[in-house]
């Protein structure tokens, strides 16, 4: 089914909603998927299409009734398998105070366990919410992870978006983007062996250096959805970009990637070695129809959990939406709308062969790494099977000269 046909079908499910209820839907999951059959507008051969595409595994569980020990065991099992099969990286998020993503409040701690179970795969956090954390402690914690992993660690930084998370730093919420840049500067200073000055007891100013330090400067991403200014900030700061298919189409990714490269160029940064990592829900199986059938109910539960989180956000922000006005029927319409968009346009669901055109379009849009989110509610063995199929996708890309060498 093409993206345009999907847009017609899914929009019809929302036609009966009043404006305030539809506003919540448009805020939570916008139906902006591009056509699956043609290259994204503005895509350039050589933007992403001239580079090998890396395949990585991403985690962001929303199974609120599952035992976190099972989720952590799944991360470790998938990491071991992905390491053996030659996939590029393991990504885990930072989440606080909500069942959505509940197993992941401490990405550095979890990745330390992954480091002990793996040999070569890169270890990434997507994302470290830097305005919630003291950069002195981030520098120390991730310096230990760099040592444990023999230099395999990296992170994406985020400014944060959910006000309730800022109980950890209430004064930092309104200025969180500025705070992120200030703390990034401290982090870079500390990791390069420099010092920062802090107030200490007795009105003293203390000059502090952190240990251990990474042997080499670790790779750092900036997390961005579709806001062009955040992509441009990543270019200005010389960072990689971590993005997602949640609220943007491939056309928008292509335009943002172009503005990112322009910002890199303007600031005198290298373009060729910069990464655009795109997180997208993924389930691959030998049979494409079977894979798409498997994901319907897990994705439905996942999107319901995401809507619960968004309603908390809407309640804390003045965005003209009243979550209490949304009926159960409206919620179901929203979830069905999101489910169809995800399956048809915004994820990687099917076989290696059936998903190849989507992968090629992502690469043409400027994406250099796929962060394949696998833990959205499928049984353990199906998740592991999907990781094995990702290795087959990786091999297929290499055979065509489009993979990571």
pLDDT single digits (tens) 289-337: 999 999 888 887 777 665 543 444 334 444 344 445 555 655 566 666 6
Residue 29's pLDDT band (cuts 50, 70, 90)? very low
Distance between CA atoms of residues 210 and 139, nearest Å: 7
Q: Are 402 and 360 in contact (CB under 8 A)?
A: yes
Q: Are 241 and 221 in contact (CB under 8 A)?
A: yes
Which CATH fold would you assign to the domain 40-320+351-399? TIM Barrel (3.20.20)
Does the predicted TM-score (pTM) go above 0.85? no
Q: Which residues lie below 8 Å from residue 116, measured CB to CB, with a gap of 6+?
A: 148
Query: What local confidence, expressed as pLDDT, does residue 380 receive?
Result: 93
Residue tagged 């976190």 (tokens): 68
Residue 389 CA: distances (Å) to CA of 283, 312, 380, 394: 9, 36, 14, 9
As separate numbers, helices (DSSP H) first and strands (DSSP E) second, the chain gives: 12, 11
Q: Are 282 and 359 in contact (CB under 8 A)?
A: no
Helices in 242-347 by DSSP H: which ranges?
250-266, 288-316, 328-341
Write out the two tokens for 209: 């250096």
Section 3-26 average pLDDT: 43
Query: What local confidence, expressed as pLDDT, does residue 343 receive?
Result: 77
Our CA angle for 358, 364, 369, nearest 5°, is: 75
pLDDT single digits (tens) 243-280: 998 778 899 999 999 999 999 999 999 899 999 999 99
Burial class for 113, CB neighbours closer than 10 Å (0-12, 13-18, 19+): middle
Q: Where are the domains of the chain?
A: 40-320+351-399
């Amino acid at each position: 089914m093409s993206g345009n046909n999907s847009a017609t079908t899914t929009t019809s499910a929302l036609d009966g909603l009043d404006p305030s209820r539809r506003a919540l839907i448009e805020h939570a999951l916008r139906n902006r998927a591009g056509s699956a059959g043609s290259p994204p507008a503005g895509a350039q051969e050589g933007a992403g299409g001239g580079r090998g595409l890396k395949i990585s595994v991403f985690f962001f569980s929303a199974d609120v009734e599952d035992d976190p020990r099972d989720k952590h065991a799944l991360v470790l099992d998938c990491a071991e398998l992905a390491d053996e099969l030659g996939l590029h990286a393991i990504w885990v998020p930072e989440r606080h105070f909500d069942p959505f993503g509940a197993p992941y409040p401490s990405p550095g701690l979890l990745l330390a366990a992954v480091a002990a179970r793996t040999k070569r795969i890169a270890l990434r956090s997507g994302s470290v919410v830097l305005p919630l954390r003291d950069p002195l402690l981030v520098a120390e914690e991730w310096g230990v992870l760099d040592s444990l992993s023999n230099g395999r660690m990296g992170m994406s930084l985020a400014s944060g978006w959910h006000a309730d998370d800022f109980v950890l730093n209430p004064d930092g919420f309104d200025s969180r983007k500025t705070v992120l840049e200030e703390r990034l500067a401290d982090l870079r200073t500390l990791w390069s062996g420099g010092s920062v000055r802090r107030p200490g007891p007795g009105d003293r100013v203390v000059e502090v250096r952190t240990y251990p330090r990474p042997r080499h400067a670790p790779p750092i991403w900036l997390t961005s959805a579709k806001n062009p200014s955040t992509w441009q900030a990543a270019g200005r700061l010389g960072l990689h970009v971590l993005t997602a298919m949640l609220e943007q189409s491939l056309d928008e990714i292509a335009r943002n990637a172009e503005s990112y490269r322009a910002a890199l160029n303007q600031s005198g940064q290298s373009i060729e070695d910069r990464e655009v990592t795109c997180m997208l829900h993924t389930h691959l199986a030998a049979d494409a129809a079977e894979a798409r059938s498997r994901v319907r109910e897990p994705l439905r539960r996942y999107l319901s959990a995401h809507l619960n989180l968004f309603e908390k956000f809407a309640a804390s922000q003045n965005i003209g939406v009243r979550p209490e006005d949304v009926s159960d029927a409206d919620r179901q319409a929203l979830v069905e709308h999101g489910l169809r968009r995800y399956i048809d346009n915004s994820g990687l669901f099917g076989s290696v062969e059936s998903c190849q055109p989507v992968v090629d379009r992502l690469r043409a849009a400027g994406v250099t790494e796929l962060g394949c989110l696998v833990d959205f509610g499928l049984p353990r063995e199906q998740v592991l099977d999907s990781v094995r199929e990702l290795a087959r996708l990786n091999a297929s890309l290499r055979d065509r000269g489009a993979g990571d060498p």
